Amino acid sequence: MGRHEEAAAIGGYLAATLVALGRRDQALAEYSAAESEDPANAHLKLLFASFLTHVLGRPAEALPKITAALPSLAAQPSTLHAGQAILGATLLALDRTAEAETAFRRMTAHEVLASLPAVSCDFWFVTNLIDRNLLFEECRAYLAEALKKADREGDRGVAEKAKMLLLRLPEASP
* CB-based contact 96:111 (threshold 8 Å): no
pLDDT truncated to tens, each residue of the chain (174 aa)? Answer: 556 556 556 766 777 787 778 888 888 888 888 888 888 888 889 888 998 999 899 999 999 999 999 999 888 888 899 999 999 999 999 999 999 999 999 999 988 888 899 999 999 999 999 999 999 999 999 999 999 999 999 999 999 999 999 999 998 766
d(CA 115, CA 104): 17
* CB-based contact 34:8 (threshold 8 Å): yes
Gyration radius of the chain's alpha carbons: 17
Phi, psi of 137 (to 5 degrees): -65, -40
pTM: 0.88
* CB-based contact 147:166 (threshold 8 Å): yes
First to last CA, the chain: 55
Show Cβ contacts of residue 149 under 8 Å, excluding neighbours closer than 6 positions.
Answer: 116, 117, 118, 121, 155, 158
